[in-house]
Chain A
Amino acid sequence: MSDIADRVRKIVVEHLNVDADKVTEKASFIDDLGADSLDQVELVMAFEEEFSVEIPDDAAESIQTFGDAVSFLEKAVK
């Protein structure tokens, strides 16, 4: 498990108040982790802050699962 994945998981766990073991690769923020559309926007804002990156709106919309977020950030943070 990469360092980035750990940091993303920590943000998701804290923000959505879910158990860490629920935050799996395929876990959808909205369908599986109880996020609403506002939570999703806030998660993206939190990722931007944690990793000091800009996530454009179209990219943000494509980040639906924990795995999506990790793979986006692994590419963005270099």
Chain B
Amino acid sequence: MFDLSGKRALVTGASGGIGRAIAEKLAEAGATVGLSGTRVNVLEEVANGISGDTHILPCNLSDKDSVDALIPSAVEAMGGLDILVNNAGITRDNIFMRMKDEEWDDVIAVNLTAAFRLSRAAVKVMMKQRYGRIIGITSVVGVTGNPGQGNYAASKAGLIGMSKAIAQEVASRNVTVNTIAPGFIASAMTDELNEKQRDSILATIPTGRLGTADEIAAGAVFLASDEASYVTGQTMHINGGMAMI
């Protein structure tokens, strides 16, 4: 439906469930996709499952030099950069009173500071070419909060605020900046919930089921498309109705 032929996309955290689905859907729509992550063997497996043009770009987002090298190497590998998906994220959950400085710092570094550095470098490239799409994968938790996730919620809310600020700065250059806030998405992690935990989660979701990574990826393909030119500074909530904002 949306044609991304000739577009070059970089997806961080492409070895994870949602990142992988986003990379696959962008490629299906015709984009060349740079797959970034720390686990090269998994990235290779993801690349093998994609019939289009892919590039493997390993990066440790908690390492400043590694982050600063990522956009230049993506531009070099793909000959430019049109779409950046800041998807990678980590959790270090703990009740707030017990939260360690390192738990706070690690989550902010990967989820927010790395997204800042990558977006800063990408915006420069995109402004020059008068076209670009930056998509941040945030979370419903960044808007509603969640017990045990003070650090994660702060990082995800930070991503939303940052995206709105960049969106205002670069809108006149045909660069849009948006976020997607997934709700509960089926993953290896949710597979491990017991029936009681699962039921109590499902009770909060009007659609009565978990979401799929493909449903998040569909939103990313839309935001990356030419058709979404007039959408910027927004947060797309894909959560089965669990929070209506």
Report the interface size class on chain B. Answer: under 10
CB distance from B119 to the nearest CB of A (A): 15
Whether a CB of chain B sits under 8 angstroms from the CB of A53 is no
Size of the chain A interface, CB-CB below 8 angstroms: 4
Whether a CB of chain B sits under 8 angstroms from the CB of A42 is yes
Cβ proximity bits A3-36 to B, threshold 8 Å, 1 near / 0 not: 0000000000000000000000000000000000
B128 touches A38 (CB 8 A): no
Q: Is the interface of B mostly helix, strand, loop or mixed?
A: helix
CB distance from A59 to the nearest CB of B (A): 17
**A42 vs B128: C-alpha distance when bound (angstroms):** 7
CB distance from A27 to the nearest CB of B (A): 22
Within 8 A of A (CB), among B92-150: 124, 127-128
B169 touches A38 (CB 8 A): yes
Question: In this complex, what residue of B is CB-closest to A49?
Answer: B128
Within 8 A of A (CB), among B154-174: 169-170, 172-173
B124 touches A45 (CB 8 A): yes
CB distance from B166 to the nearest CB of A (A): 11
A38 touches B172 (CB 8 A): yes
A38 touches B124 (CB 8 A): no
Binding site for A on B (CB under 8 A): 124, 127-128, 169-170, 172-173
Q: A38-B172, A45-B127, A45-B128 are in contact. List 6 more A-B contacts (CB 8 A).
A: A38-B127, A38-B169, A38-B173, A41-B127, A42-B127, A45-B124
